[in-house]
Structure formats: C-alpha cells, structure tokens
A and B are shown apart, each in its own frame.
Chain A
Amino acid sequence: MPAPKSTRFLAACAAAFALLLLACLAIGAAPPEATMGVVQKIFYFHVPSAWLLMLSALVSAGGSLAYLFRGSERGDRVALAAAELGVLFGLCVLVSGPLWAKAAWGAYWQWEARLTSSLLLWLMMVAYLLARRYGGPAARRLAAALALFAAVDIPLVYFSVRFFRSIHPQTTVVSTLGPGMRGAFWLSLAAFTGLWFVLLSVRLAAEKAQAEIVELEILLEQAEEEKS
C-alpha cells in the first residue's frame, strides 16, 4: 500500500530542508567578504528568495494566462499556489534586504528602483490573494488579471539595477564571488528552488483535495436524495 500523500510530502519537505541545512553549513564555511565581513552572508539567503519571488510571479502569470484564455482549472490552481509562495519568499526578501542594507548603507530602506519595484511586485502578489478571497463572484478572473499585470514588473525588478541609477549591488555580483563563496551560493540557490517545487506541489495537492471535496459533497447530496 503506498504511503499517504501527506507522508510523502513530509518526506519531500524533509529532503528539501536537509539540502537547505547543507547549504547553511557551506555558507558557514564560506570565507567572509573582505569589506562587508560576516553581514555579507545574508546574500546567500536573500538572492535565492528574490529569485523565487520572481519565479513565483512568473508561474502565477503563466497559470493565470491558461485560466483566462483556455479556462484551465489546473492553471488557476497553479497561479494561486505560486502567488502564495510569492508572498512568502517576497516577505523573506523584504526582511533580509533591509537588514543587510542597514549594515551596508546605514539605512534600512532607500526608495530606489530595485527596492521599490520588488516591493511593488510583492504588493501585487498580496493583492492577488486578497482579490481571490474578497473579489466576489469574479474573484478568480480579477486575480488572474492582477497576476498578468504583476508579471510586467518582473523584468523591471531584474533590470532595474542596469537601467536606473541604483545603489543596490548589480546582478553581475554572482560572477565576481570567490571559489568558496560561489559553491555556497549555488547550493543555497538549489536548496531554495528545490524547496519551492516541494511547497508548490504540496499547495497544489491541497487545492486539488479541496476541489474533490466539493465534487464529493454534491455526489453525497444526490445519493442521499435518491435514497430518501
């Protein structure tokens, strides 16, 4: 007999967390950066979180596109799950970034292009979830349109440091990392991405179960009516 879904997901989550723990060990072993010292280590969790915020917004937009133009229920479920993960990892970016900035710039926040566009992307993901919850009968379509609108902000977030005058480190900083730092960074990125896929599948399974419950409740009602 196969293990129940929740047990399999628990095992997958444990594997992803083990990889994340391994990444933490590599980060601990990585040499401190010459000018910033130990505070630079925030980078190893901050950048993967930022990547996952953008990936979540992109996947949410893809799912919404499938829902709006092909009526795909699966697309809608993917969009919702990805938006929720976007809010989670966006929050991680918006908390870890200012903690690094306080040490690097002397201020938690600067209204510059990268930070502002990232905050906007996160707010649009939050708006997606709010629209889903309180949008009334057209909630799903309204939220899908919001997800498409949010996708426009993704290239803006990524290229903002190139196109605008910005004090935020450039995207090329990864290629300048020393050998000890590079391995820790890629391991952390892989661990975060693996965790993202596990969380997405768990969230999708929950949405699928919810849809099945609605179907079964209708079936049960019909069966009870037939019996009486």
Chain B
Amino acid sequence: MTQVALAYGFIWLAVFGYVFLVGRRLARLQAELDDLRRRIERQKP
C-alpha cells in the first residue's frame, strides 16, 4: 500500500506542480504583453 500511495502521490504532485508553474508563467507573460501594448498605444500620435 505504501508503494501505491507513493507512486500516486508523486505523480499528482509532479503534474500539479507543473500546472502551477506553467500557469504562473503564462499569467506573467500576459501581464507583460498587456503592459507593452499599453506603452505602444501611448507612443502613437
């Protein structure tokens, strides 16, 4: 039973961790994109 719990626990943790990291990165990149778009808009005459 310990092996089963370890295997399932590890896989859930790895996948959740990856989703968290990629999701956070995507949100940061989108914020950066929005900021750049606003700055470009401000430069327009």
Residues of chain A having any CB pair with chain B under 8 Å: 4-6, 9-10, 13, 24, 38-39, 41-42, 45-46, 49, 88, 91-92, 95-96, 99-100, 102-103, 195, 199, 202-203, 205-206, 209-210, 212-213, 216-217, 219-220, 223-224, 226-227
Shortest 10 CB-CB distances between A and B: which pairs?
A223-B43, A209-B29, A96-B7, A216-B36, A99-B3, A42-B7, A99-B7, A92-B11, A206-B26, A6-B27
**How many A-B Cβ pairs are below 8 Å?**
91
A6 touching B22, Cβ below 8 Å: no
A212 to B23, alpha carbons, bound, how many Å? 18
A96 touching B11, Cβ below 8 Å: yes
Q: Can you name 7 extra interface pairs (CB under 8 A) apart from A6-B30, A220-B39? A: A4-B30, A96-B10, A96-B11, A209-B33, A216-B36, A216-B37, A220-B40
B22 touching A45, Cβ below 8 Å: no
A152 to chain B, nearest CB (A): 26
Residues of A within 8 A of B19 (CB): 13, 199, 202
Residues of B within 8 A of A46 (CB): 7
Residues of chain B having any CB pair with chain A under 8 Å: 1, 3-4, 6-8, 10-11, 14-15, 18-19, 22-23, 25-27, 29-30, 32-33, 36-37, 39-40, 43-44
B8 touching A45, Cβ below 8 Å: yes
A135 to B4, alpha carbons, bound, how many Å? 39
B43 touching A88, Cβ below 8 Å: no
A219 touching B32, Cβ below 8 Å: no
A224 touching B37, Cβ below 8 Å: no
A217 touching B36, Cβ below 8 Å: yes
- Cross-chain contact of B29 among A92, A199, A206 (Cβ < 8 A): A206
Residues of A within 8 A of B33 (CB): 209, 212-213, 216
A23 to chain B, nearest CB (A): 11
**Chain B: CB-nearest residue to A14:** B19
A108 to chain B, nearest CB (A): 10
Question: Given A96-B10, A213-B33, A6–B18 Cβ distance below 8 Å?
Answer: no
Residues of A within 8 A of B23 (CB): 6, 9-10, 13, 202
A205 to B39, alpha carbons, bound, how many Å? 22
A42 to B27, alpha carbons, bound, how many Å? 34
A205 touching B26, Cβ below 8 Å: yes
A212 to chain B, nearest CB (A): 6
